[in-house]
Amino acid sequence: MARKMMKMISPSFPGNSALFSFFDFQLCTIFFIARYSSFAAVNDKHVKEGLSKPTPTHLEKLVIDKCKSRSLKLDEALGFFNFMISQRPLPSIWAFNHLLGALAKMKHYSTVVSMCKQMMGCEGMHPDIATMNIFMNCFCNLKQADFCFSVLALILKLGLQPNSYSMNYLLLGRINEGKIDEAMKLFWQIVQTGYPYNVYTCNVIIGGLCKSGYTRYAVKILKKMNGSRSLEPNVVTYSVIIDGFCKEGSVDKSLIIFQDMLDRGVEPNIVTYTTLIQGLCGNGQWNEAKGLIADMINRGISPNVYTFNTLIDSLCKEGKTGKAFELLQLMTQKGLKPDVFTYSSIIRGFCQSSQWKEGKTKDEVSRYIEEMIQKGMIPDSVSVKMLKRI
């Protein structure tokens, strides 16, 4: 049943749509070269060097261990890099990759880009595909997607073989710049040219479509994945689409996707349930939300702070402050610590209730404010304005 309903919510891609039909000449050229050029030969010496991991020297081991320790500082990294690049013979590319990767995780993207450029001009340096993917990742995070394609061209020139990570960064670059139409064209080109891609690649484009309000087209990709043995959608795939429909106000479609997920044996997680519960509560479907909570608990998934916050906020907005207070007590009994959002929802709920006007809840509100202050929290601006007004 869920699969029949999915056909109704996933449109066919229009053949002459401006969103999906145009192919960039430059991109097609790159893909053609990548597929047929002798640069992509697997027996290239650079590829062979990237496939065999050398025994690390003392310097390389020092750098790699420091990167793995997560205690690396920027000035230390710069010192290591300057010393390494001055050595002859050069240290292995593995040591450089660890250093670049550590700095990228620390979000020093511009620094990594500068290092990569310096490495490209260094005689005797043989970057591998991991190096180039780090390079692309940094351009992607800097929202300079056009340079990702320049790196792709350099990958091919070096005789390296792009992998699924390379394709993912190309897609993320376009999505991060808000160019979902170009990202979609690129995705279909990757699929049609036989370039390497995986479930994560599909999840990347699905996430971009859902954030851009094109969740219905994300369902089209989901159906393609369901028809492939090697691209079986996972909990992330379904959760992102469910979230997309909920944010578009189509909770009924989210429930169809959720049922399809269960029918195909994909186990939902806390994110899936919380997203659906939030959508149902926002749509006033409290009974359905309660049913999902029971189902979640039956599957051995415990609600987290965000789940409780969603329920408490929805109850307070409906004037059911008594039930919201019961949930707050249950939350603390389970060892979960209420945050600013929890307290602010309760305070707003009590301030808007009829009991406030009768003077029955002012002491409770004062107690919650005192609790927040003791825990180093400050009520949000909405709660403060409400308290002043009342």
Report the distance separating Cα 183 and Cα 320, nearest Å: 45
Whole-number pLDDT of residue 249: 92
Can you read off the two tokens belonging to residue 198?
């995986």
pLDDT at residue number 342: 84
Angle, to 10 degrees, between the axis of helix 215-226 and the axis of helix 235-247?
A: 160
CA distance 113 to 130: 14
Rounded to whole angstroms, the Cα distance separating 313 from 328 reads: 11
pLDDT digits (tens, 9 = 90+) for 20-58: 333 354 555 555 444 444 333 333 443 334 334 445 588
Q: How far is CA 235 from CA 215, 328, 351, 357, in A?
A: 16, 29, 39, 47
**Per-residue pLDDT reduced to its tens digit, 69-110:** 989 999 999 999 999 999 989 999 999 999 999 999 999 999
Q: What is the rounded CA–CA span in Å between residue 343 and residue 171?
A: 40
pLDDT-flagged residues of the chain (< 70): 1-56, 353-369, 372-374, 376, 378-390
Considering only CA atoms, which of 164, 165, 161, 95 is closest in space to residue 135?
165
| pLDDT given at position 343 | 79
Long-range CB pairs of 73-82, under 8 A, 24+ apart, other chains included: 74/103, 74/106, 74/108, 74/111, 77/102, 77/103, 77/108, 77/111, 78/111, 81/115
- DSSP string of 74-131, one letter each residue: HHHHHHHHHHHHH-SSPPPHHHHHHHHHHHHHTT-HHHHHHHHHHHHTSTT----HHH
Inter-residue contact 219 to 189 (CB < 8 Å): no
Determine the pLDDT at residue 79. 93
User: 15: buried, middle or exposed (CB in 10 Å: 19+, 13-18, 0-12)?
Assistant: exposed
Bond before 56 cis per omega within 30 degrees: no
pTM, entire model: 0.77
Report the candidate in 144, 90, 66, 86 with the shortest Cα–Cα distance to residue 112: 144
In the chain, % helix, strand, coil (3-state, to 5) comes to: 70, 0, 30
How many CA atoms lie within 13 Å of 159's alpha carbon, on the beta-carbon side?
13
Q: Enumerate the H helices of 318-359 as residue ranges.
A: 321-333, 340-352, 354-357
Name the 3-class secondary structure at 228: coil
Number of residues that this document lists for the chain: 390
Domain 43-160 part of CATH 3.40.390: no
Helix 74-86 to helix 109-120 angle (10° resolution) is: 0
Helices and strands (H, E) in the chain, number of each type: 23, 0
How many other C-beta atoms lie within 10 A of the C-beta of residue 14?
Answer: 10
Domain ranges of the chain: 43-160, 304-390
């640069």: which residue's tokens? 39
CA distance 189 to 181: 13
Using CA atoms, how far apart are residues 40 and 221, in angstroms rounded to an integer? 29
Residue 375 backbone dihedrals phi, psi, to 5 degrees:
-90, 10
What integer pLDDT is reported at residue 37 of this predicted model? 44
